[in-house]
Structures are given as structure tokens and as C-alpha cells.
């Protein structure tokens, strides 16, 4: 909260930049002071126009925050002539939780489903250990099949609609920000995630196979795309590996 701190514009900008940077995710900043119009139309306050400000000026100086309110407000005050009004500049701003996720790097697994932002829980230690094992176990069969093994990547055409699988096999090793499809994607199920709900998206993008690993149940499901829908199979058609064999090789947490 910054209340009635009146400085020349250059100093004010420095102070507000530091205050804005210190606001945590989900935090709110309130700035109140004598408005520039108070000099002629209000009562009291500083008489030096160089240290007064408007709501728009303050709002423009709060970089990285979302402005919820920026307006002039009349505040009743007593004067020798009776009750009158002072005019204040009031700005209320906040830093969203999404901004906090971006600043901390926690958004790397987040997804956008047809324009709707989906916050994905960060992987646990158990999830990460299984992910590392899968990359090691699939590397040989993928290489033998002429496929390129990758960790998480953006599957979709743009930032408006994409998913981030835990891994995948690709027919091309070309580097890209967006992958329109994949030979196989890997999903490791975590509590509260939406791994199974991604299947229609993967089918729409012609992903041939989906490998879903359930650490809580210590099971592996291999799904193959047939006539627009995924069907469970015992063995991959892309690489020389079967569900049972893969599950036996995983050191489950």
C-alpha cells in the first residue's frame, strides 16, 4: 500500500517500479494520493503540481500488474467553510497467479485447450523418476525403429490449442516449438491431471499411439489409433516393446 507519497515524476516511477516488483502472486497493491485536479478543483493537499499525479499516470507505472481500478475519487474533508471535498487518485492493481507461475517457471507444463488455459500440477519426485526411467527404457527400441525420442514438447499448431505430453516419439528429429503430430506420446498420470481427457485431441492430431503410465496402480496402458479412436493393445506396433515387459522394467515408487 502506497498512501499520499508525493514525489517528482522520475522518483515516483522508481519507487512504484520497486513496489510493483515486490507484489507476490495473488497480491494486491493500492496506491492513493492527491490527484492533479485537486490543485484547482479540490481542497487541501500539496500545492506543487510537479508532485501530483493522475490515476492513469500511476497505472502506467505499475509494470507487470493487472489494473483493477484507476479513477478519481472525492473524499469528504472539513474546512473552515464547512464540509468540502478533496480529489484523490486511486489505483488498485494485482499480480495474478498466472503471472507468479510465469515468473517462477512453474508454467512449463501448462496447456491451452481451445483457448482455455489449463493449469497443470507440477510433477512430483515419483513422477520425475518414472519419466527418467521411461526415457532410458524407450531409447533403444525407438532408435532401432528409426524414431526420435523427446521429453515434454508442445503438441499442437499454436499457443491457442496445445497439449504438453511427458514425452513422445517423432518421425522427424527437426527442432520445433510446435509439433502438429507425433508417432507416440507418453502420459504419466499424476493426481488431478487430465491425461485421459487428452485422447480426443491426440486422435484429432493423428498421434498413432499413446502410452499411459499409472504410477498409483503400477500399470501401463498402450493405446493404438484405429478409425479415429484409441483401442488398448498389448504390444506397440511402432517399437519392439509390450505393456507387460515395460511395466516389469519400471522401478515403481
- For residues 26 and 133, state if they share a domain: no
Beta strands in 135-196 (DSSP E): 148-150, 155-158, 161-163, 167-170, 184-188
Phi, psi of 243 (to 5 degrees): -55, -50
- For residues 172 and 235, state if they share a domain: yes
Q: What is the CATH number of the domain that holds 8?
A: 3.40.50.150
- For residues 170 and 90, state if they share a domain: no
- Domain assignment present for residue 151? The answer is yes
- Domain assignment present for residue 167? The answer is yes
- For residues 133 and 223, state if they share a domain: yes
- For residues 54 and 124, state if they share a domain: no
- For residues 154 and 219, state if they share a domain: yes
- For residues 242 and 120, state if they share a domain: yes
Residue 66's domain spans which residues? 2-99
For the entire predicted model, the pTM comes to 0.62
Per-residue pLDDT of the chain (253 residues; tens, 9 = 90+): 999 999 999 999 999 999 998 887 778 999 999 999 999 999 999 999 999 999 999 999 998 888 999 999 999 999 898 999 999 999 999 987 656 655 655 566 788 898 887 877 666 888 899 999 999 999 999 999 999 999 889 999 898 999 999 999 999 877 889 999 999 999 999 887 899 999 999 999 999 999 999 999 999 999 999 999 999 999 999 999 999 999 999 999 8
- Domain assignment present for residue 80? The answer is yes
Domain count, the chain: 2
- Domain assignment present for residue 104? The answer is no
- For residues 117 and 90, state if they share a domain: no
- For residues 26 and 119, state if they share a domain: no
- Contact at 8 Å (CB) between 224 and 238? no
- For residues 125 and 59, state if they share a domain: no
- Domain assignment present for residue 105? The answer is no
- For residues 119 and 228, state if they share a domain: yes
Cα–Cα distance, 62 to 89 (Å, whole number)? 14
Closest to 31 measured CA to CA, from 64, 72, 75: 72
- Domain assignment present for residue 88? The answer is yes
Res 112: pLDDT: 86
Provide CB contacts within 8 A for 24, sequence distance 6+: 95, 100
- Domain assignment present for residue 106? The answer is no
Query: How many CA atoms does the CB half-sphere of 191 hold within 13 Å?
Result: 4
- For residues 146 and 214, state if they share a domain: yes
- Domain assignment present for residue 107? The answer is no
Amino acid at each position: 500500500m502506497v498512501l499520499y507519497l508525493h514525489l517528482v515524476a522520475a522518483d515516483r516511477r522508481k519507487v512504484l517500479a520497486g513496489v510493483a516488483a515486490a507484489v507476490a502472486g495473488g497480491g494486491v497493491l493500492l496506491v492513493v494520493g492527491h490527484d492533479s485536479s485537486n490543485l484547482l478543483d479540490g481542497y487541501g493537499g500539496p500545492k506543487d503540481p510537479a508532485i501530483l499525479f493522475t490515476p492513469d499516470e500511476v497505472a502506467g507505472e505499475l509494470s507487470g500488474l493487472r489494473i483493477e481500478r484507476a479513477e478519481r475519487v472525492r473524499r469528504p474533508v472539513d474546512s473552515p467553510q464547512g464540509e468540502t471535498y478533496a480529489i484523490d487518485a486511486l489505483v488498485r492493481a494485482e499480480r495474478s497467479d498466472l503471472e507468479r507461475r510465469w515468473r517462477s517457471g512453474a508454467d512449463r507444463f501448462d496447456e491451452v485447450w481451445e483457448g482455455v488455459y489449463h493449469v497443470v500440477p507440477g510433477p512430483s519426485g515419483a513422477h520425475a523418476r518414472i519419466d527418467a526411467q521411461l526415457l532410458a527404457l524407450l531409447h533403444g527400441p525407438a532408435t532401432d525403429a528409426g524414431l526420435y525420442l523427446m521429453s515434454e514438447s508442445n503438441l499442437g499448431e499454436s499457443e491457442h490449442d496445445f497439449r504438453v505430453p511427458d514425452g513422445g516419439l517423432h518421425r522427424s528429429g527437426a527442432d520445433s516449438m510446435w509439433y502438429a503430430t507425433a508417432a507416440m506420446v507418453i502420459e504419466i498420470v499424476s493426481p488431478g491431471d487430465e491425461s485421459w481427457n487428452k485422447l480426443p485431441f491426440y486422435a484429432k492430431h493423428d498421434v498413432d499411439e499413446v502410452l499411459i503410465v499409472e504410477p498409483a496402480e503400477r500399470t501401463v496402458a498402450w493405446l493404438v489409433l484405429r478409425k479415429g479412436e484409441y483401442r488398448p493393445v498389448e504390444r506397440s506396433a511402432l517399437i519392439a516393446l509390450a505393456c507387460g515387459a515395460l511395466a516389469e522394467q519400471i522401478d515403481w515408487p
